[in-house]
Chains A and B, each alone.
Chain A
Amino acid sequence: MSESTLSQPTKGVVSLTPDELETPPLSLGQLTWRRFRRHKMAIFGSVILLLIMIYAFGGMLVFSEADANRTETGARLQAPSREHPFGTDTIGRDILARTIYGGQISIFIGLTAMVVEMVLGISIGAMAGYFGGKLDSVLMRFTEAVLIIPQIFLLLVMAKYFAQSIPNIKVIGRTLSGSVLVIIFVIGITSWPYLARIVRAQFLSVKENDFILAARATGTSTRDIIFRHILPNSIAPIIVAATLSVAAAITLEAYISFLGLGVRPPTATWGNMLEGAYNYVDSAWWLWFFPGLLIALIVLSINFLGDGLRDALDPHSRAI
């Protein structure tokens, strides 16, 4: 009797092992999705974000861009009505149509500024973290120098610097104010320092791993070590930072446009629809309420999404 129990594992274990073998191990993506799904706020954020996207891009089918830019001086500052559900602005443009087209530009600015920030932040952080030494200290001093001036001040100075008469540009049949490019560029080159610090910290810790030593021993090139080995292993915090920086870029665009140094008309953005709106706080609330609400909603939903991604991708880290 004692022999049989010794040679065969206990029943519970036997029944568990084939079960586990039948289900293949989950990939990182699947694990992340499992954790993300359980994060109620993140799902809520994603749904809101999706609705805003449908609003901004689906609305194109209902209103043409001409609707958004047509001025009707006879119908200035009209309160929301059946004809103009969100009312009209100071020169009689329909606010509903403008929030649709402005939303596209705001989202576009958010995404592209994020890309600019990623390129700068990842390359500077990766170089500093991987090569270390003199290069590291020079790059980090540079990063500190950028961080010392609050971003909004830098943005205003740079927006003014680059804003001198840039011609309009044509993108897929649409005319955009050239200032859109200026704003994207300016937001990108003032936002990268935080990301660079995150990437550098990741590189510093990942490059000490044995698999990097193995890669180096087998003669892998530096480029492959950086892009194939270290970067994919430090991707989690970068994805979170990228998500949050889209929200930050949308807010920053709104701030500089609000202060009158942002995207020039006729191109609408949620931010420049608010320019000067505080003069109408008492007389025309619809001027600032709808674009302001959309900015607040998209920023909130992206922040929820980023928070969910942080918990899902990296369960150990809990920021705020």
Chain B
Amino acid sequence: MTRYIIRRLLQAIPLLFIISLVLFILMQNMGDPLATMGGRKVTRREDRIRLARQLGLDKPVILQYVYWLVGNDWAKTDMDGDGIAETPGSRKGVLRGDWGISLVNRQPVMEVIGDRLPNTLLLMLVAEVIVISLAMLIGIYSALHQYTAADNIITATTFVFYSMPVFFFALLAMYFFAVNFKKWGLPYLPTVGMFEPEIGKTTAQVAWHMVLPVATLSFGFIAGYSRYIRSTMLESLGQDYVRTAKAKGLPRLEVVYIHALKNAALPIVTIVALDLPFLLGGAIVTERIFGWPGMGRLFLDHVSRSDTPVVLGILMMIAVAVIIFQIIADVAYAWLDPRIRYK
């Protein structure tokens, strides 16, 4: 098993290099980060040349990529424009843990991302807990009541939710629970931000502000997972060992929740592990609509201003998360199902 994990990690390294190189080249041609640096005024020509030189944007793409990767403290740069490279670089490069400096606000990338990451993780983890528990409940219920009226209604509803675009759900939810509840004088849900500025960032405020974003983030996953759990539960309920358990007179609860669910849950563990990093992606639209200060909004803001270091930082972080969760999914599967062996 250890050898398997090590091999998977080694295989991931070239993959990450390729992804980062391709994204880096894409980012370089995406727009002009210098255009907005002059504030409201158009950046002057001489400022533009000076800034490009100081930020190293005048170098060939491949050299910029090498600097991003391994740093430039071994090379000298020409800072004052006299044609002589005299100042040694100060960057250490990604491989030594230096993700560079944001072109927008000159803060280290790790700080910029670190400010936002907890907000997104909070949203994601709460959503994930709700998704798993609700999907389990709904899926098991409809598997145990297959083809009853309740099951058919659940099936139709999950299909509708599964197909509904995130923004449409979000807008409908906002319209009902914020706009109309306010109109009717009921306690209404807030739609923007993490807390009311005048009250401050208290736990109650954040929780109250999280209701709509979490609901938006989770509804599609609840629909998808509950269908999946229903079908795996139905499959394992039809197995011989379940019949044996029933035949020897075990209580129904024990048969369903211990014998059947244990085996039905196996593929779900894999799916959850593989989807978890993708929740970060689903959060883009949600965070935009609800003004949630997380990674998705950070990504949008910095893509629109062509801030290569921050955008690459976010993307590479997600890529690493995806790879790690893939390995975790494989390992968890083998651990839960002793029939599976990796070589």
Contacts and interface: CB of A to CB of B under 8 A. Distances in A.
Interface stretch (A26-34, A63-71, A117-125, A296-304): A296-304
Contact of B281 (A151, A161, A278): A151
A153 B165 contact: no
Contact of B167 (A254, A260, A299, A318): A254
B167 to A, nearest CB: 5
Interface stretch (B21-29, B107-115, B196-204, B332-340): B21-29
B319 interface: yes
B94 to A, nearest CB: 16
B4 interface: no
Interface of A: 41, 141, 144-145, 148-153, 156-158, 160-161, 164, 247, 251, 254-255, 258-260, 274, 277-278, 281-282, 285, 288-289, 292-293, 295-296, 299-300, 303-304, 318, 320
Per CB-CB distance, the 9 closest pairs between chain A and chain B, nearest first, are: A150-B281, A292-B168, A300-B163, A320-B227, A282-B179, A299-B163, A152-B281, A281-B174, A303-B163
Contact of A281 (B29, B175, B315, B318): B175
B132 interface: no
Nearest to B320: A148
Contacts of A318: 231
Contacts of B318: 149-150, 153
B167 A258 contact: yes
B274 to A, nearest CB: 10
Contact residues of B: prevailing secondary structure:
helix
A277 B168 contact: no
Give the contact-size bracket for chain B: 35 or more
Contact of B175 (A247, A259, A285): A285
A153 B323 contact: no
B293 to A, nearest CB: 16
Contacts of A153: 281, 284, 299, 314-315, 318
Given A157-B27, A274-B167, A295-B165, 8 more contacts: A148-B323, A150-B278, A160-B304, A281-B171, A281-B178, A281-B191, A300-B160, A303-B163
Nearest to A298: B163
A288 B171 contact: yes
A282 B284 CA distance: 22
Contacts of B175: 281-282, 285
Contact of B15 (A145, A164, A255, A260): A145
A144 B303 CA distance: 24
Nearest to B323: A148
Nearest to A277: B171
A304 B159 contact: yes
Given A41-B159, A152-B284, A296 B27 contact: no
A299 B231 contact: no
| Most chain A CB inside 10 Å of its own CB: which residue of B31, B172, B227, B311 | B172
A255 B288 CA distance: 11
